[in-house]
Amino acid sequence: MKSVSIVGGSGYGGGEALRLLLDHPNVEVKQVTSRSHMGEFVYQTHPNLRKRTQQKFSDPSQLETVDVLFLALPHGEAQNHIDQYTKLATKIVDLAADFRLRDAAVYEKWYGAKHVAPEWLSKFVYGLPELHRAELAAANYVSGVGCNATASNLALLPLVKADLIENDAPIIIEIKVGSSEGGAEGNPASHHPERASVIRTFSPFGHRHTAEVIQEMGVTNVSLTMTSVDLVRGVLATAHAKVKAGVTTKDLWKAYRAAANENSFIRIVKEQRGIYRVPEPKILAGSNYADLGFDLDESNGHVVSMCAIDNLMKGAAGSAVQCMNLMMGWDETLGLEFAGLHPV
């Protein structure tokens, strides 16, 4: 049994990591910190964990050494104390945006602030196993992934890897998201009477996660359009791109099948019958799957590639635990077996 602690465990990402780690067969949760909820039972904040743990949120300044440290702080905080955290654990998984981008200038451009610990950027591996499995197995420090970036990157992965799309044509990614993406802190727009039933395009382009798509996919002419819908968990990214001349549906099948074959958590959903013919986030709540689908308009080369995930699982805590498994040399799927529910 390895010891694990979570810094910033009262947020949604931290809470979900906690749930996964409590049930993980190879680890033991030592501490879960929260400045605002210090001393309270974690189940008072995360009511699903009642009767699963009697742990209380502990003081972040009283962190002890562990084998693996999960950082689940608001963006911009982990970089301030990264020297200290690395003294407490040899393996670190950060769920926030602090160490996702390799280039400090790019970080500054998208996050509007100088990075405090740029020398650490190159020490972190981007925490999406489908892109960096081998590096993760050798890594000590793993960054989190943006949930919208993950849905986008996985929607593009088969196309990019098989070199099927035209690089100079723009890639438009329309992303629909649930409310948990906004985090555990409320704001006027998240008040239920205002947030219920919305179809709210809160960002037409320029979302920060775009930087992760550019970095990881090597595409430049890409934009993410963000629309909130009435759902708590879930992201659907619908990517519009143009295939190279001559690319057929058969080529696409080959590329998508390869992605599913090489990755335990990637599934292809492209059915001719039944209710669930395309990827849908609702059935993924709590699961670590990324469901991919696609369609090609052969008349003009317009390909529509879809990826559905649970933003708190594959888009955050699930990928984080998967990365820990890889770093520790364990089976990648350990502790991530929940299939999701139907109906739901």
Q: Binders of its own copies among 59-98, rule CB under 8 A?
A: none
Long-range CB contacts (within 8 A, 24+) of 290-293: 290/130, 290/150, 290/151, 290/154, 290/265, 290/266, 290/314, 291/266, 291/267, 292/154, 292/155, 292/158, 292/256, 292/259, 292/260, 292/266, 292/267, 292/268, 293/268, 293/269
What's the closest the beta carbon of residue 315 comes to its own copies, in angstroms?
A: 14
- Stretch near its own copies under the rule CB under 8 A, chosen from 107-115, 130-138, 320-328, 333-341: 333-341
What's the closest the beta carbon of residue 171 comes to its own copies, in angstroms?
A: 10
Contacts of 97 (CB under 8 A, 6+ apart): 75, 76, 111, 144, 146, 208
What one-character DSSP code corresponds to residue 41?
Answer: B
Residues in contact with its own copies, counted by CB under 8 A, come to a total of 96
75 φ, ψ (degrees, to nearest 5) = -50, 140
Q: Give 172's strand partners.
A: 223, 240
What one-character DSSP code corresponds to residue 123?
Answer: G
CA nearest neighbour of 320 among 50, 161, 125, 85: 125
- Interacting residue with its own copies among 247, 289, 326, 335 (CB under 8 A): 289
Q: Binders of its own copies among 253-272, rule CB under 8 A?
A: 260, 267, 269, 271
**Is residue 323 annotated as a catalytic residue, yes or no?**
no
* Cβ atoms of 239 and 143 closer than 8 Å: no
Q: Binders of its own copies among 185-244, rule CB under 8 A?
A: 185-202, 204-206, 221, 223, 225, 227, 229-234, 236, 238, 240, 242
At 44, list the tokens: 């008072």
Choice between 22 and 29, CB closer to its own copies = 22
Choice between 4 and 121, CB closer to its own copies = 4
What's the closest the beta carbon of residue 158 comes to its own copies, in angstroms?
A: 16
Q: Binders of its own copies among 35-54, rule CB under 8 A?
A: 40, 44-52
Angle, vertex CA 18, rays to CA 292 and CA 259, nearest 5: 20
At 199, list the tokens: 């179809």
Q: Binders of its own copies among 15-34, rule CB under 8 A?
A: 15-16, 19, 22-23
Catalytic one among 66, 147, 175, 327?
147
- Interacting residue with its own copies among 61, 62, 84, 300 (CB under 8 A): 300
What's the closest the beta carbon of residue 311 comes to its own copies, in angstroms?
A: 11
161 binds its own copies (CB under 8 A): no
Q: Which residues are catalytic?
A: 147
